[in-house]
């Protein structure tokens, strides 16, 4: 947004306030208000990025609110924490993403100490073909009530390969034939495409991306930032 646009918006707001206070505003008064606003912005240019940031945050909150039900409704058992949570953290992740793996302990700590928190996991396999295979098997695990065992086992395995996916599935009680069938199936494509569409709406630049309340946090932001996001959401 340009300086002129800010001046126009601010002048309009000032004029509106003046009209509320005393009725109509003369042309000379309107010009005087606009000049005051113009001069103030020139003297305090730091308000421009602050205003842009606030505007962007409000727009993003509107986008989140419009998709909140979809965002916070997990696929089968692809979640952990409180069933009756008052705050939900949504993570878009890729099993091949090292930053997602690094965020796992932060999420575990967060949900472990907060009994009113839910974490919804949304597969966003954008890094490799094996990412997609892992996502499909994780959704199978979600259907069978073994999501978190598979999730943790695959991250613990390190590099995502067909063999590590099958091994993680076995630790979650899913046989090799079922895991391979899930990888070959198109059954989970609609869920994955839905997640991609949601991420695009949120302007997610990569993984991990977290949605907490009305905020979007990008990258491995760490435990403190996640906890602060939960506190902000709960405060609202």
Residue 15 pLDDT level (bands cut at 50, 70, 90): low
Cis peptide before 96 (omega within 30 of 0): no
Instruction: Please give the domain boundaries of the chain with CATH numbers for all domains.
Output: 3-45 (no CATH), 69-235 (3.40.30.10)
Q: What is the pLDDT of residues 187-235, one digit of tens each?
A: 999 999 999 999 999 999 899 999 999 999 999 999 999 999 999 999 9
Please spell the DSSP secondary structure of 183-216, one letter per residue: HH-STTHHHHHHHHHHHHHTT--SSSEEEETTEE
Q: What is the pLDDT of residue 42?
A: 77
Residue 184 — very low, low, confident or very high, per pLDDT cuts 50/70/90?
A: very high
17 vs 129 pLDDT, higher one: 129
Q: State if pTM tops 0.95.
A: no
pLDDT: is 1 or 121 the higher one? Answer: 121
pLDDT for 8 equals: 47
Residue whose C-alpha is closest to residue 209's, from 62, 71, 57: 71
Distance CA 220, CA 29 (A): 51
Cβ neighbours of residue 114 under 8 Å, at least 6 residues apart? 81, 230
């Amino acid at each position: 947004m340009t300086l002129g646009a800010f001046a126009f918006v601010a002048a309009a707001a000032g004029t509106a306030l003046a009209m509320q206070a005393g009725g109509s505003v003369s042309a000379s008064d309107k010009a005087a208000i606009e000049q005051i606003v113009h001069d103030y912005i020139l003297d305090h240019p730091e308000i421009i990025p602050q205003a842009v940031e606030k505007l962007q945050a409000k727009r993003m909150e509107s986008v989140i609110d419009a998709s909140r039900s979809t965002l916070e409704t997990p696929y089968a058992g692809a979640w952990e924490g409180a069933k009756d949570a008052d705050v939900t953290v949504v993570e878009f992740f890729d099993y091949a993403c090292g930053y997602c793996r690094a965020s796992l302990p932060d999420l575990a700590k967060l949900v472990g100490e907060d009994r009113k928190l839910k974490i919804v996991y949304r597969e966003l396999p954008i890094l490799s073909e094996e990412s997609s295979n892992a996502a499909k098997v994780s959704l199978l695990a979600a259907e069978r009530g073994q999501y978190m065992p598979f999730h943790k086992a695959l991250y613990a395995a390190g590099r995502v390969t067909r063999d590590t996916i099958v091994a993680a599935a076995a630790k979650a009680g899913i046989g090799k034939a079922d895991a391979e069938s899930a990888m070959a199936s198109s059954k989970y494509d609609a869920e994955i495409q839905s997640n991609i569409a949601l991420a695009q709406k949120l302007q997610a630049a990569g993984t991990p991306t977290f949605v907490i309340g009305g905020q979007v946090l990008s990258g491995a932001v760490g435990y403190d930032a996640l906890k602060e996001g939960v506190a902000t959401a709960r405060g609202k």
